[in-house]
Copies of this chain bind each other. A is one copy, B any other.
Amino acid sequence: MSAWEGKLENVEVYYWPITGLAEPIRMTLAIAGVPFQDFNPKNKEDFMAVKEKYGCQVPFVLIDGVMLNQARAILRHLGRVCTYEGKPLYPTDVKKAYECDNFIELIEDMRTPLGKTFSIQDQAEKEAARAALVSEDGAMGKFLGKINEYLADFDPSTAQLDIGHIYAFCLINMLRQPTFIDGIPPGIIAKYENITKHHEWLANLPPVLAYYADKDEVRTGWKPGCL
């Protein structure tokens, strides 16, 4: 089966019409120059039927008919078989691979507290809960500070692109405006200068610039100079 021979043919991404956990997958495919179809309930009539057939959570992808699910498992697979400037996007060097994994887990520490807010029914209460989470002392804000510290030694002139950088970029960008996550105050990322440096490096990579050039709304944060 071609999916396991490292070939990426007939790739279909299934997710909601938002960025979220599918965007690192889409962006990795775009960076590697892999064409894919991006399906959601708004552009695919039988979306829910396909989802039900595979019986899994989104995002999931089909690669030449083989289904892969779990966002970070898909991302690692793509990182193994996709390259950028001749290097695999999931490093094979053990130190770089560890650093990539470590960064992904730090981003997960930041993201995890957001999960419980999606079940808050009252809109004002939900927005207040999210504003509290991303405040400097909040459960997410504390980790944004740690991510900023983690990037203290980040040097765009020597950095090597990998799925850890892509995951961090996408998940932090969800907190930039405009966002599908109601209640995140505008401009909260601006104070983290190392995160900004990291963002500008990634947003200005040629395939990233090209892929997001014609995108806007919730993907505005993927462009250079955004808030």
A104 to B80 alpha-carbon distance, docked (Å): 17
Contact across chains for B101 and A70 when beta carbons are under 8 A apart: yes
Within 8 A of B (CB), among A72-126: 72-73, 76-77, 80-81, 94-95, 97-98, 101-102, 104-106, 109, 112, 115-116
B80 and A97 form a contact (CB under 8 A): yes
Contacts of A57 in B (CB 8 A): 109
The answer to whether A73 and B95 touch across the interface, beta carbons within 8 angstroms, is no
Q: Are B70 and A106 in contact (CB under 8 A)?
A: yes
Q: How far is the CA of A72 from the CA of B101 in the complex (A)?
A: 8
- A73: chain B residues at CB < 8 Å are 98, 101-102, 104-105
**Interface members, chain A 21-37 (any B CB < 8 Å):** none
- The 8 Å CB contact of A94, one of B6, B94, B106, is B6
Per the bound structure, the CA–CA distance linking A81 and B81 in Å amounts to 21
List the B residue with the shortest CB-CB distance to A100. B73
Q: Bound complex: CA of A112 vs CA of B105, how far in Å?
A: 13
A158 to nearest B CB, angstroms? Answer: 17
Residues of B within 8 A of A77 (CB): 94, 97-98, 101
In the complex, which of the residues B69, B102, B112 contacts A102, with contact meaning CB atoms closer than 8 Å? Answer: B69
Contact B76 A101 (CB under 8 A): yes
CA distance A94 to B6 in the complex (A): 8
Q: Which residues of B contact A72 (CB under 8 A)?
A: 101, 105
Apart from the given pairs A77-B97, A81-B94, 9 other A-B contacts in the complex at a CB distance below 8 Å: A57-B109, A68-B98, A68-B102, A70-B101, A70-B102, A71-B105, A73-B104, A77-B94, A112-B112
- A residues lining the B interface (CB < 8 Å): 3-4, 6, 57, 68-73, 76-77, 80-81, 94-95, 97-98, 101-102, 104-106, 109, 112, 115-116
List 16 A-B pairs, Cβ < 8 Å. A3-B95, A4-B94, A69-B102, A70-B101, A70-B102, A70-B105, A71-B105, A72-B101, A73-B98, A73-B102, A73-B104, A73-B105, A76-B97, A76-B101, A77-B97, A77-B101
